[in-house]
Amino acid sequence: MNPLLRWFHSLGSPPTFYRFATRWIPWTGFAALVLGAIGLYFGLFRAPADYLQGESFRIIYLHVPSAWMSLFIYVLMAIYGAIALIWRIKLCEILMMAAAPIGAMFTAVTLITGMLWGKPTWGTYWEWDARMTSELVLLFLYFGVLGLANAYDDLRQGARAAAVLALVGVVNVPIIHFSVQWWNTLHQGESVQIIGKSTIHASMLWPLLLVAAASKFYFLFALLQRARTLLLEQERGKSWARELALGAR
């Protein structure tokens, strides 16, 4: 077996994953803190004001990375759910359930900062346009996944029910992404392009990318922490978990 595939296979073992998470939690947290502090400092205090929106544009340094993460986490959650349903891998069930509240948090931040941005820009906190409405639907989908996961006494049965909803709801992700192209909307179009030239000035772009990277590391930090806790809860009857608990005492 390829060494990389062997490593991924071994990572599916609960004790191995627990050790992996414990090793990487401090590093991901440190990276999120450093990148976030640098990006927010230059974005909030050093980048020039926007020629149209003035100082109010600075909320993008919270709004845009949160919006990106809200979509990224849901897609990742759906992938975990698909693997859990097809191959019955317990760790993927745990990772899916651990990711859901983090994704819900990023989605809530996206909606709140979008409302705060909308008032000075559009003259209203909320407008039922395609982008805002579909992002709100995404928040309800996250809540639905969380509700289903906790609606069963059997944690694994709840995870499988939540996985089905995660897969059904993933259709909303491209709707959110392409909504500004498919419909007339107050929300501005994409100013940061992965392929092609971005329309945002470089002095504003690189702090935004630093905060976006920080949000990825924060997600890993929070995901590993939550997954480690859920793993111990499900594996508390196993010998390795009992030995770990005894060692902690």
CA atoms of 68 and 76, how far apart (whole Å)? 12
Instruction: Give the pLDDT of residue 242.
Output: 78
Helix axes 14-41, 3-11, angle to 10 degrees: 100
CB 227 within 8 A of CB 95: yes
For a pLDDT cut of 70, what percent of the chain falls above it? Answer: 89
Task: Output the pTM of the full model.
Answer: 0.93
Phi, psi of 246 (to 5 degrees): -65, -40
∠ Cα 42 118 69 (to 5°) = 60
Residue 214 inside a domain? The answer is: no
Residue 72 inside a domain? The answer is: yes
Helix (H) or strand (E) holding 159: helix 155-169
CA atoms of 115 and 13, how far apart (whole Å)? 43
Residue 200 inside a domain? The answer is: no
**SS3 at position 153:** coil
Instruction: Give the pLDDT of residue 187.
Output: 67
Domains identified in the chain, total number: 1
Average pLDDT over residues 124-143: 93
Domain that holds residue 172: 60-184
CA atoms of 40 and 59, how far apart (whole Å)? 10
Residue 206 inside a domain? The answer is: no
Residue 78 inside a domain? The answer is: yes
Residue 16 inside a domain? The answer is: no
**SS3 at position 110:** helix
What does pLDDT average to over the chain?
89
Residue 41 inside a domain? The answer is: no
Instruction: Give the pLDDT of residue 182.
Output: 76
pLDDT tens figures, 13-70: 888 999 999 999 999 999 999 999 999 999 999 998 887 788 888 999 999 999 999 9
Residue 39 inside a domain? The answer is: no
